[in-house]
Structure 1
Amino acid sequence: MARERSMSGTIPSMEEHSGNAALTDNTIIVVLGASGDLAKKKTFPALFGLYKAGYLPRGVRIVGYARTKMDKDEYHKRQVSYIKIKDDDTKAQEQLKEFTDASTYVAGSYEDGAAFDELTKHLEEIEETYKGGQVNRVFYFALPPSVFIPVSKNLKEHCYAKDGDNRIIVEKPFGKDLQSCRELISSIRQYWHEDETYRIDHYLGKEMVKNLLVLRFANIALSSAWDKNSISNVQITFKEPFGTEGRGGYFDEFGIIRDILQNHLLQVLTIIAMERPVSFAAEDIRDEKVRVLRAISPIEKKDTLLGQYVGANGKPGYRDDDSVPPQSNCPTFAATTLYINNPRWEGVPFILKAGKALNEAKVEVRIQYKDVTQGIFKDISRDELVVRIQPKESIYLKLNMKTPGLQMRAFPTEMDLTYQRRFEATNIPEAYESLIRDVMRGDHSNFVREDELDHAWKIFTPILHWIEGKDGQRPTPVSYPYGSRGPKELEKFVADRGYKRTTAEYNWPISQVSNL
């Protein structure tokens, strides 16, 4: 395979600041939960994408492990079921054959130490084929949280490579509240050091989220107006156009806040709000993110809007899902307001919004600036900087310009950087590809540190306990129709927190790139 080239340009490579050595040879990646949806939909396609691009260690082997008993052919069929290759791409077809040839499977329990001994025997058989040097083992937890602790224990006691690097990749959710998170962290810490642990929040691997550091700190024109003196409010929005669709049992246990706000959107907020780190070193970046979280007070009830979708447009409501309890009050939509109590952001509302069964698929950051000084301009639209995280990655700055012609009249338009148009020939990697590559490089920058988790849960736990009725008063979410923009109360909610909708008719022309 081709070897990975080092980064160039004026931005220092994060490899220079990695806490662990990069894995270049003699590495086995063990995917635990290999028979599940996460593995086949995300993990294996990401591993193949890296393999195809030459970004995995030389001679890498992939070992699947799960309870399900299946032969090699069934395993490979599941492994490639979500990998997309064009029929006429013979090179990719050959690479896929190489990838599956380098992949094997072991069935076993997650709680039984003897089963992990069998896994170790299989790993050692592979490692006997390596020609000298240390052997490295990377364990990917594509697993439900209920087995994180026994798997962590059994891997350390039965599968730990004593003469090489060992790393675990742990998927969210990291607990359900502050107490359960602390218990989970404490239990895993008994067996695995923090520098061996990579906690994935896949939003940190998304191209536009990673771009926020450059956007903020490499552009003096933006960074000089990045504070309470210029910015009125910040909205971070997640919208899905579908409901639970048979996954209601899982969703009802966790809800939209745990699923989206407490992790994905809060991570985006920390990057928007953090101070400039002294370097790209993982701990320098994560230290600044933690300082932001420490400055945020727990969310208050009055700063929260909860919703639950009902049937409309031929689609069923949340409670119509057979996997959902018929009287469930679980929110499928939530808007919460966070305030950062530091000199840069004091008084600026950060509004996090997420919902299912809405009118479109979209994740974006919208930074709205304050009104211009009144006088020669009246009723003029506010400037806005919008970062579209997905789909159709883009950044646009909404400004007021003179209407062409003889009249002196301002109207809102935009300076538009749409990635599909500006970087037409560039392939944007999937988030999981980016993060697994970071694990191979030993770079913790885009992974969640344990104190980040602790402070994040402190912010959200009180509101979660209120929603669950643990203080004796359980709120009832307002209803909103399937396929709508969300609860009708949302417009007043954001307006009360400083957001002003553009008065003039304005639509960002995203349709121009719809068929690129």
Structure 2
Amino acid sequence: MASVPNEKKTGAIATGPGSSEGQHVLKDNTVITVAGASGDLAKKKTFPALFGLYNNGFLPEGIRIVGYARTKMDEEDYHKRVSQYIKTPIPAMKQKLEEFLKICTYVSGQYDQDDGFEALEKELKKCEESYKDKEAPKNRVFYMALPPSVFTVVAANFKKHNYSEGGINRIIVEKPFGKDLESSREMQVGLKKEWKEEEIFRIDHYLGKEMVKNLLVLRFANVMLDASFNKNLISNVQITFKEPFGTEGRGGYFDEFGIIRDVMQNHLLQVLSILTMERPVSFSAEDIRDEKVKVLRYIPEIKPEDVLLGQYVAKDDKPGYLDDETVPKGSICPTFAACVVHINSPRWEGVPFILKAGKALNEQKAEVRIQYKDVTQGIFKEITRNELVIRVQPNEAVYLKMNSKAPGLAMRTVPTEMDLTYKRRFSDLKIPEAYEALILDAFKGDHSNFVRDDELDIAWKIFTPLLHWIDNEKPKPAPYPYGSRNAEGFDEFLKTKVGYQRSEAPYTWPSTSVL
């Protein structure tokens, strides 16, 4: 079911903390063009998100959606693709989907030839003829669900043929934003040659996830948490991304980028910057992004000795990475990586942060695990460390792992938790999908949850030396069986590099068993 953003439901788009106050909010006379409309990303994410917003009344009044791609297809085939991943469990939503498809049209054309974009311009003008106010400025949003190899070419053609001179124009760019610092800078030069920075929305869908957006509130609206976020109390921090499946026929794309470019340099580093930044002056987009940039500047480049690489191999009926026919033979592309990052700021100096990402592991999980230092020795010995865990997905939750006296006559401590599990506490609310939230922000003109050009530059500076070392030296990743908890040697790596202490006491977060 399409989820409802947690805002007041009106025809106009609302603003709020961190939103677009002072920005131009698109409320009417708007067309969105989805480039790459025949691809997987558009089918699985972009169109379902647009329908979710349309179904709940959050898109501009009279919105029109135009798909653009190289694939030739008629309206019926196009509508099948648009609706393929849209769920309509109730009759009212099926009726809404029929309405939605009526505002979705399609134009076929090449990405590097003028005639396709000229045909697109005719379709855009045809859509704009349906507006009630014929004299009002025409607004256009361009969503690029495309491979990065054609980003700059398509962006230039949009500007040349489809830019609205009298209205507001915005362009949404999907990751990956290059493969290293040099290619990223080249891409940004190409984009900014045609588009202003305020018109560009670089989308990283992790910034639209509810728990990532909640990090600001958890930090700065809770005095006890904010006061504990420093090198005096925190021993180490883990930011983890795990998937229980492999490449499954998409090895060609994955092998080009690898797990570090695909997940770590963007998703996990974004989480790290929000988690560790200083309090922003306000909730405005630039104040938030200024603080993210500041904390990233404190991070030195990652050294090879601070990295563990792995690649999954077959187990039982599950194939290994090299068994995927789309993967080049003998590839040493890592499907698992763990790296230690340090932030040399007054608040965080000396605290190790470990970023971990892997495919074909034992579970689906993304979380932040903050482990506090040991209690003062004396009356308590070998007691479990406190941990603050922020579960990003699935089963969004925040829980504080703490020690308590076990009920009874004996003085015995047990690990327990203070638990905020979203499905229990907010059972009457729907958590919006990340793409819904971010597309809505783009219509608002709110850049808070999008990546700024200087932020992107610094992120690549941190990882590019490591990526070039991997590309040039070709270190062989450690094998790990499909479905492992971690890559081989990770526990020792974590203990040696980070000082993380895995609790020996029996403990299971109970929320997972009741959801």
TM-score (norm 2): 0.96
| 8 Å contact kept, 1:334–1:353 | yes
State which of 193, 196, 199 in structure 2 corresponds to 1:193.
Answer: 196
Q: CA deviation at 1:15?
A: 3.5
Residue 129 of structure 1: aligned partner:
130
Task: Give the 3-state SS of the residue equivalent to 1:198 in structure 2.
Answer: strand
Residue 322 of structure 1: aligned partner:
325
| 8 Å contact kept, 1:379–1:503 | no
| 8 Å contact kept, 1:237–1:365 | yes
Task: Give the 3-state SS of the residue equivalent to 1:63 in structure 2.
Answer: strand
Task: Give the 3-state SS of the residue equivalent to 2:447 in structure 1.
Answer: coil
Is it true that 1:476 corresponds to 2:484 in the alignment?
A: no
State which of 271, 274, 277 in structure 1 corresponds to 2:277.
Answer: 274
Residue 148 of structure 1: aligned partner:
151
Q: CA deviation at 1:5?
A: 6.8
Structure 1 Cα separation of the partners of residues 80 and 153 of structure 2: 28
Task: Give the 3-state SS of the residue equivalent to 2:194 in structure 1.
Answer: coil
Q: CA deviation at 1:165?
A: 0.3
Is it true that 1:230 corresponds to 2:238 in the alignment?
A: no
Q: Deviations over 1:411-455 (max 9, x none)?
A: 110011110111111100000000000001000000000001100
Task: Give the 3-state SS of the residue equivalent to 1:216 in structure 2.
Answer: helix
Structure 2 Cα separation of the partners of residues 15 and 264 of structure 1: 21
Task: Give the 3-state SS of the residue equivalent to 2:415 in structure 1.
Answer: strand
State which of 3, 15, 19 in structure 1 corresponds to 2:11.
Answer: 3
Residue 500 of structure 2: aligned partner:
499
**Cα distance change of structure 1 residues 94 and 247 upon mapping to structure 2, 3 Å threshold:** same
Structure 2 Cα separation of the partners of residues 65 and 513 of structure 1: 44
Structure 1 Cα separation of the partners of residues 60 and 207 of structure 2: 23
Q: CA deviation at 1:2?
A: 4.3
Residue 5 of structure 2: aligned partner:
none
Q: CA deviation at 1:511?
A: 3.2
Structure 2 Cα separation of the partners of residues 42 and 388 of structure 1: 22
| 8 Å contact kept, 1:420–1:513 | no
Letter in 2 for 1:125: K
Q: CA deviation at 1:484?
A: 0.7
Is it true that 1:394 corresponds to 2:397 in the alignment?
A: yes
Structure 2 Cα separation of the partners of residues 466 and 429 of structure 1: 39
**1:382-461 equivalent positions in 2, closer than 5 A:** 382-461=385-464
Residue 6 of structure 2: aligned partner:
none
Letter in 1 for 2:170: R
Task: Give the 3-state SS of the residue equivalent to 1:480 in structure 2.
Answer: strand
Structure 2 Cα separation of the partners of residues 295 and 105 of structure 1: 47
| 8 Å contact kept, 1:313–1:483 | no
Structure 2 Cα separation of the partners of residues 328 and 140 of structure 1: 33
Is it true that 1:57 corresponds to 2:65 in the alignment?
A: no
Deviating beyond 2 angstroms after TM superposition, the runs of 4 or more aligned structure 1 residues are 4-7, 12-18, 510-514
Task: Give the 3-state SS of the residue equivalent to 2:228 in structure 1.
Answer: coil
Structure 2 Cα separation of the partners of residues 220 and 41 of structure 1: 40
Q: CA deviation at 1:57?
A: 0.2
Task: Give the 3-state SS of the residue equivalent to 1:15 in structure 2.
Answer: coil
Q: CA deviation at 1:467?
A: 0.8
Q: CA deviation at 1:16?
A: 5.2
| 8 Å contact kept, 2:20–2:446 | no
**Cα distance change of structure 1 residues 342 and 178 upon mapping to structure 2, 3 Å threshold:** same
Task: Give the 3-state SS of the residue equivalent to 2:183 in structure 1.
Answer: helix
Q: CA deviation at 1:91?
A: 1.3
Unmatched 5+ residue regions in structure 2?
A: 1-8
| 8 Å contact kept, 1:176–1:254 | yes
| 8 Å contact kept, 2:247–2:254 | yes
Letter in 1 for 2:492: K
Structure 2 Cα separation of the partners of residues 22 and 2 of structure 1: 14
| 8 Å contact kept, 2:19–2:285 | no
Q: Percent identity?
A: 63
**Cα distance change of structure 1 residues 152 and 16 upon mapping to structure 2, 3 Å threshold:** closer
Q: CA deviation at 1:131?
A: 2.3
| 8 Å contact kept, 1:17–1:282 | no
Structure 1 Cα separation of the partners of residues 18 and 285 of structure 2: 8
Q: CA deviation at 1:180?
A: 0.3
Q: Deviations over 1:474-516 (max 9, x none)?
A: 21100100001122300011111111111211111133333xx
Is it true that 1:306 corresponds to 2:314 in the alignment?
A: no
Which range moves more in the overlay, 39-48 or 306-315?
A: 306-315
**Cα distance change of structure 1 residues 35 and 6 upon mapping to structure 2, 3 Å threshold:** closer
Task: Give the 3-state SS of the residue equivalent to 1:413 in structure 2.
Answer: strand
Residue 19 of structure 2: aligned partner:
15
Residue 117 of structure 1: aligned partner:
118
Which range moves more in the overlay, 36-45 or 490-499?
A: 490-499
Structure 2 Cα separation of the partners of residues 439 and 149 of structure 1: 20
Letter in 2 for 1:447: F
Structure 1 Cα separation of the partners of residues 252 and 20 of structure 2: 45
RMSD: 1.1
Letter in 2 for 1:172: K
| 8 Å contact kept, 2:240–2:367 | yes
Q: CA deviation at 1:144?
A: 0.6
Task: Give the 3-state SS of the residue equivalent to 2:239 in structure 1.
Answer: strand
| 8 Å contact kept, 2:12–2:60 | no
Structure 2 Cα separation of the partners of residues 188 and 106 of structure 1: 23
Task: Give the 3-state SS of the residue equivalent to 2:19 in structure 1.
Answer: helix
Q: CA deviation at 1:32?
A: 0.4
Q: CA deviation at 1:62?
A: 0.5
Structure 2 Cα separation of the partners of residues 494 and 174 of structure 1: 30
Structure 2 Cα separation of the partners of residues 67 and 15 of structure 1: 35
Task: Report the count of equivalent residues.
Answer: 504
**Cα distance change of structure 1 residues 279 and 304 upon mapping to structure 2, 3 Å threshold:** same
Unmatched 5+ residue regions in structure 1?
A: none
Structure 1 Cα separation of the partners of residues 10 and 65 of structure 2: 18
Structure 2 Cα separation of the partners of residues 3 and 146 of structure 1: 37
Letter in 1 for 2:458: H
Letter in 1 for 2:281: V
